[in-house]
Amino acid sequence: MTTEPGSEPEPRSKGLLWAVVLLLLAAGGLLWGSSAVLWAGQKYRTSFGAEITAGVTGGDVRPELVPMALAALTAVAALLATGGWLRRIVGVLIAAAGGVLIWRAFQVYSFTVFGAPDGVPPGSTPVGPLDPQPLGPLMLIAGAVLLLVAGVLVVLRAGRMPAMGAKYSAPGAEKKKSHDPDRQMWQDLDAGRDPTDDQDR
């Protein structure tokens, strides 16, 4: 029985899988870092006439940054543990999270809703304009883009990513014969068969 052209399964690529894992880890790190760095500084004059500088972090401005960073790390485990359509669903969720964060990064925000940051004495009044710091928002955008790219790769290329549990199938489960003689030999040895015995095969 011959195999029709185009019916061969897509070749698996561990490199693609680990590239997506690295994208998710980098996105999680960027989002976590964005939540910790200063997004804007503001000078205040205390009731005693002294001037101090305080600021708000990304976690104050975008409270979802830390949960999203943790979700990106959790997505790594979900990606490795799933396969097929379930893995594609994980990819859709990852891409959606990236899209939402990109929208949030460019959404207009106002620091006035946070009031005086921690460490500013009561009765202090702001002096001059806010001093925006671009690093935090840029880290947010970079992390969101990495999430979006990772999610799109999973949706489009899930069939090429190997399932981590595929090589640990149940005992006695038949593996598909490989067209590569060397690979078939190793499969026979792994199953406890003599690769030189045609009857065992």
What's the CATH number where 98 sits?
Answer: 1.20.140
At residue 56, does pLDDT exceed 90? no
**Span 135-152, pLDDT tens digits:** 999 999 999 999 999 999
- The fraction of the chain above a pLDDT of 70, given in percent, is 62
**Domain range for residue 199?**
176-201
What is the bridge-based pairing of β-strands 51-57 and 38-45?
Answer: antiparallel
CA atoms of 196 and 201, how far apart (whole Å): 9
Same domain, 149 and 183: no
Tell me the mean pLDDT in the region 35-64.
80
Residue 133 lies in a domain: yes
Full-model pTM: 0.68
In a domain, 27, yes or no: yes
The reply to whether 142 falls in a domain is yes
